[in-house]
Structure 1
Amino acid sequence: MAGNLTDIEFFILTPDDFQETLTFFDEQFLKRNPLCIAFKETCKEAFGEHLNVALKETLESGFSMGARDKTTKALIGIRLTKITSVDNVSKQTASDEAKLTENNLYRVLAMLSPDEDVFRGVSSFLYMFALAVHRDYCGHGLASRLVKKTLELGEERGYSASEVKVTNTLSEKIYNKQGFETIKTLDLATVEDEFGLDTSLIPGETIMKLMVKRPPSIAMGQ
């Protein structure tokens, strides 16, 4: 690790950080994400303008967190997040026919979309789009701190519900510790032929999960 956690600055990402975030996302997320690896789509060019739009939405939200090494000034971690209306949950996959038609990866992600009643009683929630830490800084709890700080920011601004799709066991552990529960599971091996995946490239990481964090009253079914 090129430094220690006491030399790291956490901050809210803005649209001004787009190019730096896109480069980091390309190098530290796409090239290491199990789903992207299985689809052999590990560069930003594979996603075209859809990726640019998605990143810009998270940066405009005011809920995306970054981590920077104070010594090197390098971006070393991101937790990209945006606010999503519960009313739009059922429309997210149906309203973007082009995206779903052009890329099978999006179709797989759509299989883990939450049902409309998951956040009953809540108008909006934090949609946690992507989490990535520079490989040189892994193993020191930086990802956990980025998630925690994002959730704290959400709580401060009145958002106590969150959703995330996890594609690896490490992320699942991080979100479990923050009170998330698994409500949907997808074994990529079961859709390998249908979508053209190669799960042999991701041994031990073929299980994707939709995890949510809900206010206590909803979690208890009140």
Structure 2
Amino acid sequence: MAQDSSDIELFMLTSDDYEEVAQLFDEQYAKRNPLCKVCKETSLEDIGESMVKDIKRTLASGLSIGVRDKTTKAIVGFRLTDIFHVDKTSTYHVGEEDEPSIMYQLLARFSPHGKEIQELGISPILELFAVCVHKDYGGRGIAAMIIKKTLELGDEQGCRLAVVQIANSLSEKIYNRLNFQTFKVLDLDTVADEFDLDTSIIPGETILSLMVKNLPSKTSNPHPQ
């Protein structure tokens, strides 16, 4: 349940917000995200150009939401989002063979742009790329608030499925409450040797999940099992 939110406001992010969003990503997302930690990629510089491109891509989509402190005018949260069409999916999003980022290599194992999602035959698809709320504003239901708003926007744009990659248990609980279902998982312990990961630094956070949710549609389509 969201607590008092009178001191914040939601707004639509644009490409002009890149610098501030990138700073928040660096300071609040990458430093706290279990996958970033175990991959030793806790900054935009560590992750590399792929993340820079994806942040810019989602900001340009017209579907990404920002959270602003009304007093300081600072961006204190974001929900980065895009829409993709299965027939137009680029292999770039799945991951290049020479991708230097370990995190991107791992996420490519169950990319929302991958073959298994394509085979569902559902399009267009709402891609929930990344969500972040500054730690000083945590525990107030802000993340759930902006995710719900994103789903509404996706539905308005005709999306029939929402997909998200989850790298921490807190986010998973939020998406479970919003009736997302787990489509595929990857246990980092099973690939620790392959990627030289020390999963002991993220106890209880070693499961990566690809979660999905059907959005309202006039066209009947059963939920993927």
How has the CA–CA distance of structure 1 residues 162 and 108 changed in structure 2, closer, same or farther, with 3 Å as cutoff?
same
Shift of 1:48: 2.4
Question: Separation in 2 of the partners of 1:116 and 1:191?
Answer: 21
Conserved 8 A contact 1:76-1:137: yes
Indicate the structure with greater helix content.
1
Shift of 1:17: 0.2
Shift of 1:113: 2.2
Sequence identity percentage: 51
Conserved 8 A contact 1:160-1:215: yes
Secondary structure in 2 matching 1:109: helix
Question: Separation in 1 of the partners of 2:21 and 2:94?
Answer: 28
Alignment match, 2:153: 153
Secondary structure in 1 matching 2:165: strand
Structure 1: which 5+ residue stretches go unaligned? none
Question: Separation in 2 of the partners of 1:104 and 1:220?
Answer: 32
Conserved 8 A contact 1:144-1:174: yes
Query: Which amino acid is 1:28 matched to?
Result: Q
What number of residue pairs does the alignment pair up? Answer: 217
Alignment match, 2:193: 193
Shift of 1:95: 6.6
Q: How does 1:145-184 map to 2 (within 5 A)?
A: 145-184=145-184
RMSD: 2.0
Secondary structure in 1 matching 2:221: helix
Q: How does 1:73-92 map to 2 (within 5 A)?
A: 73-89=73-89, 91-92=91-92
Alignment match, 1:97: 97
Conserved 8 A contact 1:38-1:201: yes
After TM superposition, the structure 1 stretch with the greater mean CA deviation from structure 2, 172-181 or 133-142, is 172-181
Q: How does 1:6-85 map to 2 (within 5 A)?
A: 6-85=6-85
After TM superposition, the structure 1 stretch with the greater mean CA deviation from structure 2, 178-187 or 28-37, is 178-187
* TM superposition score normalised by structure 2: 0.89
Alignment match, 2:222: 219
Shift of 1:4: 4.4
Structure 2: which 5+ residue stretches go unaligned? none
Question: Separation in 2 of the partners of 1:50 and 1:129?
Answer: 13
Alignment of 1:110 with 2:113, yes or no, is: no
